[in-house]
């Protein structure tokens, strides 16, 4: 009896192995690679360029997203005190917002109208989608404004960006073309693990995806100093004072007059 039923999972396995749903207008699956896949933050790091490239169907568009883990942030809200003076008035807690969100698209007009924004949002991408997803502890009337201000702040830091039309193509053969996205990794990027998602799109639908990992880590002097600052903070403090005093004495030795006395 038991033996008779074993053919069912076996049949499903064999069928699934040979059967692939045919995607509309997709003659090739998206392939992607990123170079480098490890970014080391050394003493001279000032941001870097990450190249994401691969192949897609000839008629298709591409979205590339580099995103960080979801984080919870507490920010200061600016408001008017006494109806006159702008200053920080209270905290705003933001949850479910990625630490980094760098979106590149091959379609230049992807963000030119509200319709384009809605299309992007439906796919689960873009700033409008982020605004809906993030949790902001604020009165309902202020929520939208705070979400917009949060996006502005992140863009100012270079950690959120949307670059429509900044993926280039080159035709490879009659059915496929290669794409290249030069993703700018800002100097402010926190170290950690990031996801690189590549979406192949046709007629406003995602027809294939590829995912890669990107690691950002410190090395050399920055790694040594931050581990000293966080793991041996008191020693770090004394060390910082000592070096400052020595530098001050050295400067006095080099540039000081060495003469005493003399008031005005």
Question: What residues make contact with other proteins under the rule CB under 8 A?
Answer: 41-47, 74-79, 81, 84-92, 145-146, 149-150, 152-153, 156, 187-188, 190, 218, 221-223, 225-226, 229-230, 233-234, 236-241, 243-245, 247-252, 255-264
Residues 6+ apart with CB under 8 A from 39: 48, 50, 185, 189, 214, 215, 216, 217
Residue 178 DSSP SS3: strand
Instruction: For the CB of residue 116, give the shortest distance to other proteins in the complex, in Å.
Output: 25
Identity of the residue, 81 or 108, whose beta carbon is nearer to other proteins in the bound complex: 81
CB of 217 to other proteins, least distance (A): 12
Helix axes 220-231, 233-255, angle to 10 degrees: 120
Peptide bond preceding 80 in cis form (omega within 30 of 0):
no
Q: What minimum distance in Å lies between the beta carbon of 38 and other proteins?
A: 16
Closest approach of other proteins to the CB of residue 188, in Å: 5
Residue 261 tokens read as 């006395």
Nearer to other proteins, 204 or 248 (CB): 248
CB nearer to other proteins: pick between 79 and 124: 79
Asked if 60 contacts 25 with a C-beta cutoff of 8 angstroms, the reply is yes
- The number of C-alpha atoms within 13 Å of 263 and in the hemisphere containing its C-beta is 0
Closest CB to other proteins among residues 96, 118? 96
Cβ proximity to other proteins: between 124 and 248 the closer is 248
* Among 130, 139, 136, 137, CA closest to 162: 130
Structural contact between residues 151 and 134, judged by C-beta atoms closer than 8 angstroms: no
CB-nearer residue toward other proteins: 91 or 170: 91
Minimum Å distance from CB 129 to other proteins?
20
Q: Shortest approach of other proteins to residue 40 CB, angstroms?
A: 11
Residue keyed to tokens 């002097």: 221
Contacts of 23 (CB under 8 A, 6+ apart): 202, 207, 208
């Amino acid at each position: 009896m038991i033996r008779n039923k074993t053919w069912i999972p076996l049949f499903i396995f064999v069928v699934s192995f040979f059967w692939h749903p045919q995607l509309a207008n997709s003659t090739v699956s998206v392939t992607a690679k990123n170079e480098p896949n490890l970014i080391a933050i050394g003493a001279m790091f000032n941001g870097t360029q990450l190249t994401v490239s691969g192949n897609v169907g000839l008629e298709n568009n591409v979205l590339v997203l580099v995103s960080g883990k979801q984080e919870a942030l507490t920010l200061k809200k600016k408001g008017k005190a006494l109806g006159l003076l702008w200053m920080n008035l209270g905290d705003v807690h933001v949850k479910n917002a990625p630490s980094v969100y760098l979106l590149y698209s091959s379609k230049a007009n992807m963000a030119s109208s509200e319709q384009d924004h809605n299309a992007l949002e439906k796919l689960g991408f873009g700033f409008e989608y982020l605004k809906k997803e993030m949790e902001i502890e604020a009165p309902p009337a202020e929520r939208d404004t705070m979400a917009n201000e949060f996006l502005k702040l992140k863009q100012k830091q270079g950690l959120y960006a949307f670059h429509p039309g900044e993926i280039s193509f080159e035709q490879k053969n009659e059915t496929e073309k290669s794409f290249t996205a030069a993703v700018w990794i800002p100097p402010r990027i926190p170290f950690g693990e990031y996801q690189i998602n590549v979406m192949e799109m046709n007629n406003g639908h995602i027809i294939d995806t590829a995912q890669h990992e990107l690691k950002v880590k410190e090395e050399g002097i920055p790694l040594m100093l931050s581990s000293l600052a966080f793991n041996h903070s008191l020693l770090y403090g004394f060390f910082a004072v000592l070096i400052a005093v020595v530098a001050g004495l050295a400067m006095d030795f080099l540039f000081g007059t060495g003469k005493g006395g003399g008031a005005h």
